[in-house]
Structure 1
């Protein structure tokens, strides 16, 4: 990550040396755009701070040991409101499976985690609009439910 900072700093210095006025103008435009979206990102960070309080053990307790369809619904809901990067989510999926959580429930949790963005709603509505954001989240939720049901059928957890 620091490498990107160094590259950006060196590129800015090179730009400044080659054309001082354009570099200053570009930095001013960048600052205006950054300050325009700063409030939205701060809201997102506050929401994420609260979501990170939800521990892995909490998720395991509520997703495991339920009836398959209750676990499916809980997986869809918890995955929709939780937000974490893939490099944390996929090992968590392995932990859930090793603790006995159904594959269908894990599929519901992980796919809604990646496809549905309740926590990112404030940022999304700024860039895509309210209607597009809501439709994207509904579509992601329905696709996640279908993926989870297909996973349950393929693993024999749900009988047709």
Structure 2
């Protein structure tokens, strides 16, 4: 029902925009198509790799590597994966839900999502060019440490 309401709102907004100014609406559609065309190949790659990984990794293996009983070791594994991976949030959260269903631990997934969103190993060169080496490493290091605090708090709240 929620998805249908979002589609209805989008269609109404599109029709209002079309009624107001056809040329601006056409330009906006062209820009959005170009944006979609640029993001689609990496998104398709990420979704394919996630699907393949979830197919190959059985629940027993997931529990063994990043299950709740792995403790800090599993958290370190998922934090490193989260820090080096460049996955958008709208892919990461469903991935985390799938991993949780297959036996991953809450704190392990919390640190994974936190490092994924806050630590940018892949984007570090760009960050260094804008903010300088010291600030970029400091920000990423503090974000990495803070991710563990977030995971512990989530673990305490959920448990």
- Is the 8 Å Cα contact of residues 68 and 107 (structure 2) preserved in structure 1? no
1:121: which partner in 2? Answer: 124
Shift of 1:144: 0.6
**Equivalent residues in 2 for 1:58-73, closer than 5 Å:** 61=62, 62-64=65-67, 67-73=70-76
1:138: which partner in 2? Answer: 141
1:155: which partner in 2? Answer: 158
Shift of 1:73: 1.0
Gaps of 5+ in 2: 1-25, 33-41
- Count how many residue pairs are aligned between Structure 1 and Structure 2: 115
- Confirm whether residue 98 of structure 1 aligns to residue 101 of structure 2: yes
Q: Residue 82 of structure 1 is aligned with which of 82, 85, 88?
A: 85
- Is the 8 Å Cα contact of residues 64 and 99 (structure 1) preserved in structure 2? no
Q: Give SS of 1:67's match.
A: helix
User: CA 1:107–1:4 in structure 2 vs 1: closer, same or farther (change >3 Å)?
Assistant: same
- What stretches of structure 1 move > 6 A for 4+ residues in a row? none
Shift of 1:65: 7.0
- Kindly name which structure, 1 or 2, has the bigger radius of gyration based on alpha carbons: 1
**Could you state the TM-score of these two structures normalised by the residue count of structure 1?**
0.61
